[in-house]
Amino acid sequence: MWYIRAMASPLIVQVRRVRAHPEPLPLPRYETELAAGLDLRADIDGERVLRPLERMAVPTGLALGLPPGYEGQVRPRSGLALRHGVTLLNAPGTVDADYRGEVQVILVNLSSEPFTLRRGDRVAQLVVAPVTSVGLSEVEVLDATARGGNGFGSTGR
């Protein structure tokens, strides 16, 4: 069964271009009807080369005004990772609701070949998601579970 994206009252996120350009890039958008992420683009002039094992903060040219109770998750694009070995170093990156600076994407080239980045290339996805605030309660003993402290593959292959 297919579901259609609810368009009745979408969450509104403010977007500000941080620098003027004679040919502004399109604002992030969903590339398909059911896409979870909005594509972020490289707001660079000319080309930049990302050498093997090199990392780079790539500007998007955008600042966000996320509403309280939400975050922006900056996630890798699967095609960049599969075809070029280029991914995000801190995936997912977090854009907090109170951050108003430019969103940048920390790319890393894990391949053995240089990767050329051009203006407007889609470099990451932005997923806007609700955040739960919690209070911490320090205890001497945690509630017991069947799993206990077993981790790192303990539930099987």
Q: Tell me, what amino acid is at 27?
A: L
Ligand-binding annotation for 18, yes or no, is: no
d(CA 129, CA 74): 11
Q: For residue 154, what are the contacts with CB-CB under 8 A and spacing of at least 6?
A: 147
Ligand-binding annotation for 95, yes or no, is: yes
Q: For residue 76, what are the contacts with CB-CB under 8 A and spacing of at least 6?
A: 87, 88, 91, 124, 125
Ligand-binding annotation for 78, yes or no, is: yes
Ligand-binding annotation for 96, yes or no, is: yes
Residues of each annotated binding site for substrate: 77-79, 90, 94-96
Residues of each annotated binding site: 77-79, 90, 94-96
